[in-house]
Amino acid sequence: MHEKWDVLVVDLDGTLLCGRGEVSDENRTSFNAVKEAGIEIVIATGRCFKESEHILEKIEHDGVSIVAGGAQLCDAQGNAIVSEPLEEHIVREVAEHILKGNHKLLLLKDASVCDVQYVLVGESPLHDASTWWFDTLGISLLEAHTINDDPWPQHTLRAGAIADERNLKQEASILADQLQNRAKLQHWSAVTSSQAIGSETHLLEIFGPSVNKWSMLKRHLGDRFNAERIVAIGDGLNDVELLQEAGLSIAMSNADMFVQSHADIISGHHNEDGFAEAIYTWVIEKEELWSNSS
């Protein structure tokens, strides 16, 4: 056991991963140093497990992962431990609005009970970013003409759409007013996807009202939960609850100012091994190791 920290919660995109979606040697080495120091590492990402699997294998992560923005907790093999699906009537409400806006509706499914990772609803073409993402990661899909064709209506972890920002901003505003506190809505930039296709791509994501990475972390830790002994590091809107509540919170310098405002410390850029800098400077406090590796 580490004398100061029990748990390090690590975001993937924009934090551990560079803009190309890769883990640098420096970041992987610092990740291993945390494990060797006796600190439990919990991965916490907006990706589903399948979308994260190749990264988890590369870093040899042998612990749990909070995936789908906090909607699911998985063990090291990807088996679901806890899932928090959207209520079916909320999914239908979102579907009606998204499809009217001529967007493809993307339903992330609980793969522990469904045959695919995503059900794609509607006749609109899939955005280039989504096509690239699904093809690159080998994601299994089912095409559905209408929401009534979804074979697993009770097992949606996240509903949403992907489009250029100008085409989603109004949709996000209308849905936020419509859903109020009955669901959680996020609208933000998809860093990796936008870089891959060379355009500004945005995500519109809807979850259950209580879904976030921090609440799922508390469920995982149970009686072991002690906020003051938890370190969290991230860069996105879905990291805000972690940054607000953790004993030590670290935001990446590539995070926007809103996210940074909730952190205790700002580390370096994700394209410049900012994760390793954070680990060696504030977590295991071996600044000389970071200096020597730079």
* Dist CA 175 CA 59 (whole Å): 38
Alpha helices by DSSP H, listed for the chain, are: 25-36, 49-58, 88-100, 128-137, 165-179, 191-197, 213-221, 240-245, 257-260, 274-278, 287-293
Q: Give the CATH number, domain containing residue 167.
A: 3.30.1240.10
Query: Is 1 inside any structural domain?
Result: no
pTM of the model: 0.93
**Does one domain contain both 163 and 92?**
yes
Angle at Cα 163 formed by Cα 158 and Cα 164, nearest 5°? 140
User: Beta-carbon neighbour count of residue 205 at 10 Å?
Assistant: 24
Q: Are 286 and 270 in contact (CB under 8 A)?
A: no
Residue 194 confidence class, pLDDT cut points 50, 70, 90: very low
Domain ranges, residue 237: 7-83+211-293
Averaged pLDDT for residues 98-118: 95
Q: So what's the pLDDT on residue 169?
A: 82
Q: 48 and 105: one domain?
A: no
pLDDT digits (tens, 9 = 90+) for 126-177: 998 899 999 999 999 999 999 999 999 999 999 999 988 777 888 888 899 9
Tokens of 89: 């009537």
150/141 Cα distance (integer angstroms) = 12
Residues 6+ apart with CB under 8 A from 166: none
Indicate whether 249 and 105 sit together in one domain: no
Least confident of 44-48, 91-95, 118-122, 174-178: 174-178
Tell me how far apart the terminal alpha carbons of the chain are, to the nearest angstrom: 28
| Domain end call among 183, 207, 231 | 207
Answer with the one of 143, 173, 207 that is the final residue of a domain.
207
Number of compact structural domains in the chain: 2
Q: Are residues 129 and 157 in the same domain?
A: yes
- Nearest in space to 208 (alpha carbons), one of 183, 228, 188, 232: 183
DSSP 125: P
* Residue 2 counted as domain residue: no
So what's the pLDDT on residue 190? 64
Do 161 and 139 fall within a single domain?
Answer: yes
